[in-house]
Structure 1
Amino acid sequence: MEQTLIGADDTWLLWAFLAGWAAISIYLEQKYAWASKVTGAIIALVGALILANLRVIPTDAPAYDAVWTYVIPLAIPLLLFQANLKKVLNESGRMLFIFLISATGTVVGAYIAFFLLKDAIPNLAIIGAMETGSYIGGGVNFAALSGKFNPPGELAASAIVADNLLMALYFFVLILMPTLAFFRKKFRTPYIDEREREGKRNENTASDYWKRNDISLKDIALASGSAFALVALSFKLAEWLDEIIPSGENASFILNLVNGLFGDGYLMLTTITVIAVTVFSRFFESIHGAQELGTYLIYIFFVVIGVPASIPLLINNAPLLVVFVGIIVLFNMLITFGVGRLFNFSLEEMIVASNANVGGPTTAAAFAIAKGWTKLIVPIMLVGTLGYIIGNYIGSMMYYVFMNM
């Protein structure tokens, strides 16, 4: 293992970095206009990437494993407390349509990329499934599907690097789009026009959105307790179903598919949480602070996914993965903006929908907050949380499609 300034066994130092850099990223996003435009998620990811490549922090450590094992499962239900399906369908129907169009772009891109590169990249069915899920719901889905398929270590690390690099590059493209005359001329831009009329073009709205909330000890207790209970119930139920539903070489395609869908802890977690939130909506909506707690945990995850991004590792082991992921992103973009223009969606709606697919609802909401597109924040957060569900399911199903291609 390569020598780094902070060793892999320096658990408390690494946790101090993970929690501290996540906090600094949020602080910068809310304090400075430039950081708000870049978004705290990208700051968290890129900062970790730079320090890992400068060998300040290790690219692999038990502290990182703990984030994947405990932090992500707890973050998922906390962020899904808003995912009342009735509310999503009633309040965000238009945004749901463009989000699903964007997700279709990801699936088409993944299928074409796999067809072109299946003979050149080993274990591409697994990586393709993970990237499909990742670019429909964000990095949380990558984590969930990585835990499900357990790809070889170096290939998984290279896939994370490719995923993160393309995600960061694409976010910069999305940031530039509203500033370019070509896109302003070809697409409707009502939210940008409104901001310019009000003279608020360069203001930082991240701090306004994440203003101090009325959060009590009871809220923290109910949010945390509910999240732990949902994780425990979901993982145990999935474990039980995994044992009773046949799978493996001797089982049929349908049984393997059913086992993969219902015997997976992350898929069960998202499903049970959404059912609980929809059925007991009054209880979950009464809990303040769940979004704040879940978002902070996701920022710790953004730091962690930047850590394994060793550029030399990617160049040496799997440069074609960048091409593979690039094709997926390209088709997501082409189909989102092509079909979106056909149905007269605004440029802002298409940007946040594509962002929610590639980076998840947290990054999309952060983007809308940073740009001051306040009317899009709640719809994209509601719709984007569905990406946690459908992304995991579609990624799992694409694995079986790829295995039979």
Structure 2
Amino acid sequence: MWGHIFDLNNPLVGAENTWMLWTICVLGAAIAIYLEQKYEWAAKLTGAIIALVLAIVLSNFGIIPMDAPTWDNVWGFVVPLAIPLLLLQCDMRKIGKEAGRILIIFLFGSVGTACGALLAYAALHKFIPELAGLAGVFTGTYIGGTVNFAALGAAFDVSGEMISAATVADNLLMALYFFALIAIPSIGFFRKHFKHPYVDAVEASSAHADKNQTNAAAFWGRKEISLKDIALGAATAFTIVTLSDIIATIFASIIPTGNAFLGILNTLMGNKYLWITTIAMCCATFAPGFFGEIKGTNELGTFLIYIFFFVIGVPASIVMIVKNSPLLLVFAAIVVFVNMLFSFVAGKLLKFNLEDIILASNANIGGPTTAAAMAVSKGWTDLIGPIVLVGTLGYVLGTYFGLIVGSILGL
């Protein structure tokens, strides 16, 4: 048995061992939540980071595979179901201001991503092959999330070897980046120089709780819930996801892509996450007396998001980075740093909240799902709807920003 450990090509638990991988995944999320609510050190670190670290350790020690159908199923089924559960109490009439602020920072961050890619290309193009194409790929993925990665790789005809190396660098950098973002609200410099009303609200609600509890335990304390609530919540989530998938498929098939405008429209209207968010928020806005009264939806959705956080850490191969793509990690780090610089400087000048800036940058680099997950883990529930809507726009903008960067570099 011990011969399997550290062998990334032959992990202890095989990719086909579906039940074991689901058990490890769900157990990892449960351990992260337990520690976050039990110990102060874990609460400061946050359950999201704990879940990520657990996954990184298990995959890099050859215990679980870095690629398996189970992880794809989390992206394909768990995340879509989590979003409507988290949005069923999100009244659109209350979020317009927040969505506008996040959108402005998101656009500044998008420009920062493109500038960072050009800057990193200028510094490293002599050392990394096919970097012009990869600059376009990283621009797209760090504006719209991983959805744009494969599409731009194909558009720029980047070789499979370089795409694989870039994927490894992207996965590890994303994990490190999330560590940094989640830590920022606890850092004195940022608390001193930026407004942070949502952080204050979470801390204030926790201040009145049992002093023996962590903030997370106080926020997620026991609530009344019935079998009917679980049934209605699950049925609503499945129905919204199914309807969204049908609608997105119809629009993707009927909207032509003959010109740039129609291409944008096809990408936007054919994205199921846009429809999941829209339908869920319409339910919460126009029928709050029914959907808003379903208990436990936030808890169910949040648990699913913690499973997602575990899966984010799985493909982050430290060995592969050291062996094959250390400079690509440097390239990705430069792009992300410039994105954050643009986002935080613009947010400071415009006097926006720290939470808006963090989530907008997160939506750029990781997409709406990771940004929503962070909002959930921090207790910033009012920002979940706005960040999903804004982040979904990144699926469209990322592709076109990536194509522009590639064109500037002569592709």
TM over 0.5: yes
Q: Which of residues 329, 334, 350 in structure 1 aligns to 2:341? A: 334
Instruction: Give the letter aligned to residue 238 of structure 2.
Output: F
Q: Which of residues 63, 76, 99 in structure 1 aligns to 2:83? A: 76
Map of 1:146-225 to 2, 5 A cutoff? Answer: 154=164, 155-172=166-183, 174-175=184-185, 177-178=187-188, 186=193, 204-225=214-235
Instruction: Give the letter aligned to residue 235 of structure 1.
Output: D
User: 1: distance between equivalents of 2:92 and 2:58?
Assistant: 40
Instruction: Give the letter aligned to residue 113 of structure 1.
Output: G
User: 1: distance between equivalents of 2:280 and 2:192?
Assistant: 42
Instruction: Give the letter aligned to residue 99 of structure 1.
Output: I
Rate the CA distance shift 1:199–1:66 in 2: closer, same or farther, 3 A.
closer
Q: Deviations over 1:235-279 (max 9, x none)?
A: 1222222222223xxx22222222211223333333333344333
Rate the CA distance shift 1:43–1:121 in 2: closer, same or farther, 3 A.
farther
TM-score by length of structure 2 reads 0.78
Aligned to 1:32: 39
Deviation at 1:282, TM superposition (A): 3.2
> How high is the sequence identity, in percent, across the aligned residues?
38
Map of 1:267-346 to 2, 5 A cutoff? Answer: 267-344=274-351
User: 1: distance between equivalents of 2:119 and 2:338?
Assistant: 14
* Pair 1:227-2:237 in alignment: yes
TM-score by length of structure 1 reads 0.79
Q: Deviations over 1:171-221 (max 9, x none)?
A: 33x15522x5xx5665567877997xx899997211111011222111111
Q: Which of residues 342, 367, 371 in structure 2 aligns to 1:360? A: 371
Aligned to 2:126: none
* Pair 1:104-2:115 in alignment: no
Contact 2:133 2:406 in 1 (8 A): no
User: 1: distance between equivalents of 2:394 and 2:88?
Assistant: 18
Instruction: Give the letter aligned to residue 296 of structure 1.
Output: F
Instruction: Give the letter aligned to residue 278 of structure 1.
Output: T
User: 2: distance between equivalents of 1:384 and 1:310?
Assistant: 29
Query: The residue matched to 1:360 in structure 2 has which SS?
Result: helix
Q: Which of residues 107, 131, 141 in structure 2 aligns to 1:120? A: 131
Deviation at 1:6, TM superposition (A): 1.4
Contact 2:66 2:315 in 1 (8 A): yes
User: 2: distance between equivalents of 1:346 and 1:268?
Assistant: 28
Structure 2, unmatched stretches of 5+, are 1-7, 122-129, 155-159
Instruction: Give the letter aligned to residue 171 of structure 1.
Output: I
Deviation at 1:300, TM superposition (A): 0.7
Contact 2:137 2:402 in 1 (8 A): yes
Instruction: Give the letter aligned to residue 222 of structure 1.
Output: L
Q: Deviations over 1:58-105 (max 9, x none)?
A: 11112112112211221122222233221213xxx3x55553343234
User: 1: distance between equivalents of 2:148 and 2:233?
Assistant: 25
Query: The residue matched to 2:95 in structure 1 has which SS?
Result: helix
Instruction: Give the letter aligned to residue 119 of structure 2.
Output: L
* Pair 1:395-2:392 in alignment: no
CA RMSD, aligned part only?
Answer: 3.4
Deviation at 1:307, TM superposition (A): 0.5
* Pair 1:241-2:248 in alignment: no
Q: Deviations over 1:351-374 (max 9, x none)?
A: 67766776514324533x5xxxxx
Instruction: Give the letter aligned to residue 85 of structure 1.
Output: M
Number of aligned residue pairs = 376
